């Protein structure tokens, strides 16, 4: 009896020990590689994720390592997780990251939280960059990040469908009036069942889309003015929303499903010939001209037609910033300057189609041959607007998104929807 119980006890203790040590081991594996003793010429760079990796990156990083004799460790995170990883790392004041990527939408909160270290004035010539990029990444005159890639919305149309409707593919719409009349000609209901087989225009009416914001800017309106007053219910914006809604409900040149369509749904309709013109993101150009695309060569890309301004589009960007808590700031600053230099941006544009933030790159001869849409991109980007640069930007956009959905749904008139939105935003911002 004695021996059996002793053995029993030993087995139990051994098992408990094994289980505890196993759980220790597994939790160890979850931790990131410890940057225990970082030599002073190495950097940790948090980057976009595998889908952005193309040969140009390798070329650039190796160029930097060779020039400065440094070594760069890259941590990749998928775009959806970058924000969470950044917030948790920076809120913990960790010195793990030396250079990070930041979306323009995160700038107000990161800067107000003191996460980012301002960049030295001497290395930046602001005139070289797009205005919207400088505006997005600076506060009170100081630059907190260097803009690297930019994104904007464009209008795409099917040249073959233009020709079929008797329109000249080389004379794209330039104003709202053009857009409407072209769309009306391009909306075709052959079997007269009330549902057109081909729609003239398509936009994304989801509250998380940016399409209405572009119509708003095209009419000279905005959500907040330069002083930060709420002007989302000004007459220009109401007029823009009325036009936006009329395209769908009154003129019926836009499919009713736009209230729930994602940009990818629009692109699919566009490729299938169900929608002749769409407002979408630059990836449509690349996808439509891929080697296996049935509409290769039949697509044109133009800046959005304007109304009170010649053109307007949403400005989005990824920039490089240095966390306040990094221990390698000098080297990080050199890295940032290298990556956002003219040569660096040109390599990435040619290799992966990432639109640069430096204006001159678009006019480079090598670029013009490989990227035929470079001049179109530049023209649109010169008229690009930033979304509100306030800390509560996500919620502000959600409130405006709700307003245009209510207007599209005809639950409220455009004026009422925007008045309610203005009241809600004022309430939100005054706290």
Partner 1 sequence: MRRLLERPSRKKIHSKGFYLSKTQTAVLFASPAIVFTFILLIYPIVSVFRNSLFDIKLYIQDSQKFVGFGNFIQIFTKDKYFWTAFKNTLIFTGIAVPLELSIGFLLALLLNLKIRSRGIFRTMFMLPWVTPPVVAALMWAWLLNYNSGLINYLFTQFGFLSAPKLWLGESQTALMSVIFIDMWRETPFFILVLLAGMQTVPIELYEAVKIDGGNWFAQIIHVMLPLIKHSILISLLIRTMSAFKIFDLIYVLTHGGPAGATEVLATYTYKTTFEYMKIGLGSAMSIIILLIVIILSIMYIKLLGKQDNA
Residues 163-202 that bind partner 1 (CB under 8 A): 193-195
Closest CB 275 distance from partner 1, rounded Å? 9
Q: Which segments of 51-137 does DSSP mark as H helices, in order?
A: 55-68, 79-91, 107-112, 131-137
* Closest CB to partner 1 among residues 248, 358: 248
CB neighbour list of residue 152: distance below 8 Å, 6 or more residues apart:
282, 313, 314, 315, 316, 355, 377, 380, 381, 384
* Closest CB to partner 1 among residues 171, 250: 250
Determine the interface stretch with partner 1 among 19-27, 134-142, 214-222, 303-311 (rule: CB under 8 A): 19-27
> Counting contacts by CB under 8 A, is residue 426 touching partner 1?
no
Selected binder of partner 1 within 220, 256, 310, 353 (CB under 8 A): 256
Determine the interface stretch with partner 1 among 16-24, 141-149, 348-356, 360-368 (rule: CB under 8 A): 16-24
In the numeric block, which tokens belong to residue 75? 């941590």
Q: Which of 51, 288, 64 is nearest to 159 (CA)?
A: 288
Determine the interface stretch with partner 1 among 32-40, 60-68, 104-112, 153-161 (rule: CB under 8 A): 104-112
Write the CA distances from 227 to 201, 339, 390, integer angstroms: 35, 34, 12
Closest CB 348 distance from partner 1, rounded Å? 30
> Counting contacts by CB under 8 A, is residue 207 touching partner 1?
yes
Closest CB 297 distance from partner 1, rounded Å? 25
Residues 396-425 that bind partner 1 (CB under 8 A): 398, 402, 405-406, 408-409, 411
In the numeric block, which tokens belong to residue 263? 């940009």
User: How many binding residues for partner 1 (CB under 8 A)?
Assistant: 46
In the numeric block, which tokens belong to residue 421? 């939105």
Q: Please, are residues 216 and 240 in contact by the beta-carbon 8 Å criterion?
A: yes
* Closest CB to partner 1 among residues 239, 406: 406
Phi and psi at 145, nearest 5°, equal -160, 155
CB atoms within 10 A of CB 210: 23
Selected binder of partner 1 within 75, 134, 188, 259 (CB under 8 A): 259
Written as one string, the DSSP assignment of 277-342 is EEEE-THHHHHHTSTT-TTTT-EEEEPPPBSSSS--EE-EEEEEE-BTT-S-HHHHHHHHHHHTSH
Determine the interface stretch with partner 1 among 38-46, 63-71, 112-120, 378-386 (rule: CB under 8 A): 112-120
* Burial of 343 from C-beta contacts in 10 A (0-12 / 13-18 / 19+): exposed
> Counting contacts by CB under 8 A, is residue 12 touching partner 1?
yes
Kindly write out the interface string for residues 134-163 of this chain, putting x where it contacts partner 1 by CB under 8 A and - elsewhere. Answer: ------------------------------
Q: Report the distance separating Cα 145 and Cα 74, nearest Å.
A: 18
* Closest CB to partner 1 among residues 301, 403: 403
> Counting contacts by CB under 8 A, is residue 206 touching partner 1?
yes
User: Which residues sit opposite 43 in a β-bridge?
Assistant: 72
> Counting contacts by CB under 8 A, is residue 81 touching partner 1?
no
Q: Which of 252, 199, 244 is nearest to 405 (CA)?
A: 244
> Counting contacts by CB under 8 A, is residue 273 touching partner 1?
no
Site residues (CB under 8 A) for partner 1?
Answer: 1-2, 5-6, 8-9, 12, 15-16, 19-20, 23, 87, 91, 108-110, 112-115, 193-195, 206-208, 255-257, 259-260, 269, 274, 391-392, 394-395, 398, 402, 405-406, 408-409, 411, 427
């Amino acid at each position: 009896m004695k021996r059996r119980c002793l053995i029993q006890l030993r087995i139990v203790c051994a098992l408990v020990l094994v289980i505890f040590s196993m759980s220790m081991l597994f939790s160890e594996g979850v931790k990131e590689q410890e940057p225990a003793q970082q030599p002073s010429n190495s950097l940790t760079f948090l980057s976009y994720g595998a889908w952005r990796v193309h040969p140009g990156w390798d070329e650039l990083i190796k160029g930097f390592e060779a020039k400065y004799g440094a070594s760069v460790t890259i941590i990749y995170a998928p775009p959806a997780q970058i924000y969470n990883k950044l917030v948790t790392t920076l809120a913990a004041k960790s010195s793990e990251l030396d250079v990070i990527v930041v979306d323009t939408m995160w700038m107000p909160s990161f800067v107000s939280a003191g996460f980012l270290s301002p960049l030295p004035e001497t290395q930046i010539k602001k005139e070289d960059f797009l205005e919207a990029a400088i505006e997005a990444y600076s506060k009170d005159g100081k630059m907190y990040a260097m803009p690297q890639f930019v994104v904007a919305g464009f209008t795409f149309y099917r040249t073959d469908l233009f020709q079929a409707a008797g329109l000249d593919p080389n004379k794209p719409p330039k104003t709202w009036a053009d857009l409407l009349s072209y769309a009306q000609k391009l909306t075709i209901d052959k079997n007269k069942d009330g549902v057109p087989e081909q729609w003239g225009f398509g936009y994304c009416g989801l509250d998380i889309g940016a399409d209405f914001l572009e119509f708003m800017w095209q009419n000279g309106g905005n959500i907040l003015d330069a002083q930060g007053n709420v002007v989302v219910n000004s007459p220009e914006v109401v007029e823009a929303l009325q036009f936006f809604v009329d395209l769908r409900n009154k003129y019926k040149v836009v499919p009713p499903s736009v209230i729930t369509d994602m940009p990818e749904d629009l692109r699919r309709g566009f490729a299938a010939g169900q929608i002749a013109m769409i407002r979408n993101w630059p990836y449509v150009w690349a996808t439509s001209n891929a080697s296996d695309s049935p509409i290769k060569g039949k697509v044109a890309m133009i800046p959005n037609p304007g109304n009170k301004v010649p053109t307007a589009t949403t400005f989005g960007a990824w920039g490089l910033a240095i966390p306040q808590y990094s221990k390698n700031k000098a080297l990080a600053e050199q890295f940032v300057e290298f990556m956002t230099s003219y040569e660096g941006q040109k390599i990435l544009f040619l290799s992966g189609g990432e639109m640069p933030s430096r204006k001159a790159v678009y006019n480079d001869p090598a670029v013009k041959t490989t990227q035929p849409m470079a001049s179109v991109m530049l023209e649109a980007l010169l008229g690009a607007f930033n979304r509100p640069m306030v800390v509560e930007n996500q919620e502000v956009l959600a409130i405006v998104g709700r307003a245009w959905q209510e207007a599209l749904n005809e639950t409220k008139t455009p004026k009422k929807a925007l008045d309610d939105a203005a009241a809600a935003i004022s309430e939100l911002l005054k706290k």
